Amino acid sequence: MNVENNDINDSNCLLCLHLRKKSLFEVKSFSDSILYLNEDQFFKGYCILEYKRHVKELFDLTDEARDLYIKHLSLAAKALQKTFNPDKINYELLGNKVPHLHWHIIPRFKGDPAWSDPVWSKPHNPVNPPADQMNQFVAEIQKHL
């Protein structure tokens, strides 16, 4: 792990805190990471794959740990493909605000609000579907995992 250049560590990291809480939007807990449906569904099917340990960069992982994390990213993306049948999947690991490994996995559709640009090009108010819709999305993705 390489967090010495950052003032965020596992005791004050928002993702570490989030991972400890029970979430209604948890899709699957893998051995190394947890897949959540993103609360904001402005982009339908948007999920986040949060790494369980506080690690900043991909190259801070061992080869084995990196391969496993990417395997789970790929499984999650494939499940989103089967669930929502998007035209493309976007995979983004940023962490500028919260430097703890987490993948944004975003199904993209021709005709979605930002197509064919990155999702960040479209500022918007969060869209929070009703609970039954969220539960249905979670259950459908789980079927494909």
Say if residue 66 is exposed, middle or buried (CB neighbours under 10 Å; 0-12, 13-18, 19+). Answer: middle
Nearest in space to 26 (alpha carbons), one of 47, 2, 9, 4: 47
Q: Which of 1, 17, 71, 124 binds a second copy (CB under 8 A)?
A: 71
CB of 53 vs a second copy, minimal distance in Å: 16
Find where tokens 């003032």 sit: 7
Task: Work out whether 14 is an interface residue with a second copy (CB under 8 A).
Answer: no
Going 50 to 117 to 124 to 136, the CA torsion angle's sign is negative
Task: Work out whether 93 is an interface residue with a second copy (CB under 8 A).
Answer: yes
Nearest in space to 102 (alpha carbons), one of 53, 39, 145: 53
Q: Which of positions 18-57 make contact with a second copy (CB under 8 A)?
A: 56-57
Q: 34 vs 61, which CB is nearer to a second copy?
A: 61
Residues near a second copy (CB under 8 A) are 5-6, 56-59, 61, 63, 66-67, 70-71, 73-75, 77-78, 81, 87-97, 99, 108, 115-118, 120-121, 123
